Amino acid sequence: MATESRPRVRVPKTAARGEIVEVKALISHEMESGQRKDSQGNIIPRKIINRFEARYNGELVFAMDLHPAISANPYIAFKLKVDEPGELEFKWVDDDGSVYTDKAKIDVKG
């Protein structure tokens, strides 16, 4: 049963200059490993998110490659030091070339 891939992110709306914030990202995705079989015995093709990137004001701040052992609906969290206001851009890349994106802004005080 296929589900629509849907990214969700959680980022603080504001932070103090130089503060380290936690960034959370989750995408609804089955992450089919390519090792299971359907009811007729046919192998279900691999379809996973294989790359995740986060950019802050256009600069790559976090990236990772994902592999078949990652569970469905992969959750990713990382820390980010914010020195200026900006926008985080998130990108998930699927085996079939599909790209899913989301954005979040952080306002910096002080």
Give 9's pLDDT tier (boundaries 50, 70, 90). very high
Give 1's pLDDT tier (boundaries 50, 70, 90). very low
- In the chain, how many domains are there? 1
Please check whether residue 53 lies inside any domain of the structure: yes
Please check whether residue 1 lies inside any domain of the structure: no
Please check whether residue 82 lies inside any domain of the structure: yes
- What residues make up the domain containing 66? 6-35+45-109
The pLDDT mean for the chain works out to: 93
Domain harbouring 30, CATH code: 2.60.40.10
DSSP 99: E
Please check whether residue 49 lies inside any domain of the structure: yes
DSSP 46: P
Give 3's pLDDT tier (boundaries 50, 70, 90). low
Please check whether residue 40 lies inside any domain of the structure: no
For residue 47, CA distances in Å to 31, 55, 97 come to 6, 24, 10
Assess contact for 67 and 75: CB atoms under 8 A. no
